[in-house]
A = this chain, B = another copy of it.
Amino acid sequence: MWSETEVARRLGVQYPIIQAGMAGGPASPELAAAVSEAGGLGTLGGGYWTGEQLRDAVRTVRRLTDRPFAVNLFAPEPYEVSAEKISRVQERMRPYQYELGLSEPPFPKQFAPSFEEQMEVVLEERVPVFSFTFGMLEAEWMQALKERDIVVIGTATTVREAVALEQSGVDMVVAQAFEAGGHRGTFLSRFEEALIGGMALIPAMVDAVRIPVIAAGGIMDGRGIAAAFMLGAQGVQLGTAFLTCRESGAHTLHQQAVLSATEESTTLTRAFSGKPARGIRNRFIEEMADVEVPDYPVQNALTREIRQVAGKAGRSEFLSMWAGQGTRLSREMTAEALLEALVRETEEAVGRLAQGVR
């Protein structure tokens, strides 16, 4: 029943179940390959990688699997570099640097890797699927992707964003609901106005566009997948559910935090990167809550060393532990076992209801 779905057909996968492109480690080549091998669509979270790192990751995936996979990147957006905000936030983070034994960090040479270099790799390597978030793609990139038959997936947090993405030529759109972990993809509204729960967002988006909608946010098991399909989605994207898989590149402390979190554990924060994102509440988020941090990706660059050193030192209070609201349902298994469970549970949920609404 799965392979008939339009999303599965277009992506060339068995199940329209996409592993989200959790940048910064979790969405590693090993995880992406394992998900694709198991019949879903694995994704490389390439947002923070240089072109060279991305090329290595793409080639690693290809050594591990012949199946389709995706690369996910961050669409560039304008940002302000305010010396005043930077010095104020540096001041506030000094005690943490001291606590972690860091010397005063050098001012970052570059805030984010070159999107042009990343895109050249995507095009040269002819990756099967390209997904992106944080905005729209310039027309030249879209055309170059289409010429290479690369399936293009955008990310929308509102109906208006989905319509704009459809007009720009994407093949499918991810409906990123309020429940979702990680960075908000909002690009046409103030982020506070684009926090829409999946039960409301998915059917409204399905009604407004002709391209397939992929539901994302809080989906952790087959019940969630079946619900997303009922709402009209034709595919699902799961991040947090795959983050605790054996093959995930997420830090062990991050995985443990997700496994023990409740639905009340996460919050939206700008503290780590300058862009609102959902993660597990910790000391850094709480203590930085009153600071007006610089825009993304400036703040992201400024906190990078703290996060890296904290990771090595096993200090989870300084890690950005992105997670969605579905953490109570997280489980520790291989990607293959998780995908098998998701498929079985979805079929069970649908079968149960088809016999009569309980």
Give the interface of A toward B (CB within 8 A).
Answer: 1-2, 4-6, 16, 158-160, 177-179, 189, 192-194, 196-201, 203-204, 207, 217-221, 223-224, 226-232, 234, 262-264, 267, 324-326, 328-329, 346, 349-351, 353-358
Contact = CB atoms under 8 A, between A and B. Distances in A.
Contact of A356 (B1, B158, B326, B349): B1
Copies in the complex: 2
Contacts of A179: 178, 196-197, 199-200
Contacts of A329: 203-204, 207
A206 to B, nearest CB: 8
Contact of A357 (B198, B350, B358): B350
Contact of A326 (B199, B228, B262): B199
Nearest to A6: B358
Contacts of A264: 158, 160, 189, 193-194, 196
B203 A177 contact: no
23 contacts: A4-B356, A6-B358, A158-B264, A159-B263, A179-B196, A179-B199, A189-B264, A197-B199, A198-B199, A199-B219, A199-B325, A200-B217, A200-B325, A203-B220, A203-B221, A203-B223, A203-B326, A223-B231, A226-B357, A229-B357, A229-B358, A353-B353, A353-B354
Nearest to A198: B199
Contacts of A353: 226, 229-230, 350, 353-354
Contacts of A267: 192-193
B1 A357 contact: yes
Given A353-B226, A356-B4, A357-B229, A328 B207 contact: yes
A177 B197 contact: yes
A328 B204 contact: yes
Contacts of A198: 197-199, 218
A216 to B, nearest CB: 10
A199 B177 contact: yes
A329 B353 CA distance: 24
A222 to B, nearest CB: 9
Contact of A230 (B5, B227, B232, B325): B227
